[in-house]
Amino acid sequence: MHICLVYDCLYPYTVGGAERWYRTLAERLVAEGHEVTYLTLRQWPRGAHPDLAGVNVRSVGPRMKLYSGGRRRILPPLVFGAGVLGHLLRAGRRYDAVHTDAFPYFALLAASLVRRRRRFALVVDWFEVWSRPYWRRYLGPLRGDVGWRVQRLCIRRPQQAFCFSHLHAERLRSQGVGGPVIVLRGLYAGSADGAGGRPAPEPADPVVVFAGRHIPEKQLPALIPAVAAARARIPELSADIFGDGPDRGRLRELVAEHGLEGVIRLPGFVDPARVEQALRRALCVVLPSRREGFGLIVVEASVHGTPSVVVAEPDNAAVELVEEGVNGFVSRSVRPEDLAAAIVRVHEAGHRLRESTAAWFAAHAHELSLDGALEAVLARYSDSSAAGLGVASPRP
């Protein structure tokens, strides 16, 4: 099959869960013998070529700044959507399936406009479906309502929809999604050998780890006073906060205010091997996000037997990955005292919790792996036509 992947970012030029999903998906599809085109905005220097072996990477728009103040700018999605529309009008008949991220919507609308004439199946990943109140908090009442209506328009277009949590799958269904919805849990790209093929968890160092963007949705400023409070019970506790973003300056200020220089480290974006090493020996991962479409870091930590602390928030799908007392704990809120209490509970549970976390991953390894997701994705590329979402049968 000839598959067109559509996302305006490409790992490692930008870093995030969706970027890693599409890059790894492209690589696995090529390994399975499929022809893959990847449409994106140019994020590499002019004259350079992105390193994605076997994949035809096509830039359909110029290099642009995607974020302002931690939020997506509107111009890049418009430019990208126009570029995707032009490409599919010219070349859409080549593809058996066009597989796009729903957000930031305009590429999805472009593909939907030409789907019938170009006779490809339309497959859409919905990492998140925002509620109307959240849209209004994010953009204000007027622009938030516009964003919510555009999202609803996209939801109702004919499509095969994939979600990565039951939270967002139910939101799709409740808003009248224009096709079947399948929940995928397999975003982990490492080995799915979870049954006896891994060494026992290593003893934990007294270190809390976070890895990701420093944006308001992650609520990272709460982590600094939480670590300070937890040190009253765990005096040797420290933290590594990997990544970067608009909240980084505020984190530095809070570290200084609490006198935690040398205790809380902010190394920025680092080599993935360094993050994995930190996860292997961490006491726990803390993910204080108010909004997550999946929470891949929880799975990546559990591979090593490292438990996670997440926060009970209405838009946080990462809570679906944590079984209380089995592979971590759910903090009642993002208040520092609640986060600190959850960290202390991990510490008190000791190595037993690391063993049960490793066992949790072993029990769910195939479900959580990209290999498991790939099986479902490939099947739906071929079957989506049965729901009127694409071609009558896949072309040779």
Mean pLDDT, 10 residues at a time, the chain of 396 residues: 95 83 91 94 88 93 82 88 97 95 94 91 95 91 94 95 95 94 87 64 96 93 98 98 94 97 95 94 97 93 97 96 98 97 98 97 90 82 56 37
In this structure, are residues 98 and 92 in contact, taking their beta carbons and an 8 Å threshold?
yes
Asked if the bond preceding 336 is cis, omega within 30° of 0, the reply is: no
Encode pLDDT of 35-54 as tens digits: 999 999 998 888 888 889 99
CATH classification of 207-365 is 3.40.50.2000, yes or no? yes
pLDDT at residue 384 in the model: 58
Considering Cα of 362, then 363, then 369, then 375, what sign does the dihedral take? positive
pLDDT at residue 17 in the model: 78
In this structure, are residues 77 and 8 in contact, taking their beta carbons and an 8 Å threshold?
yes
- The residue type of 257 is E
Q: Which residue has the tokens 């869960």?
A: 17
- Write down the pTM of the prediction: 0.85
49: number of Cβ within 10 Å:
8
Encode pLDDT of 65-80 as tens digits: 887 766 778 899 999 9
CATH classification of 2-189+370-387 is 3.30.420.40, yes or no? no
197: number of Cβ within 10 Å:
10
141: number of Cβ within 10 Å:
10
- The residue type of 320 is E
Q: Where are the domains of the chain?
A: 2-189+370-387, 207-365
Q: Which residue has the tokens 């029990």?
A: 363
- What gap in Å lies between CA 188 and CA 391, rounded to an integer? 30
pLDDT at residue 393 in the model: 38
pLDDT at residue 118 in the model: 87
Domains 2-189+370-387 and 207-365 share a fold: yes
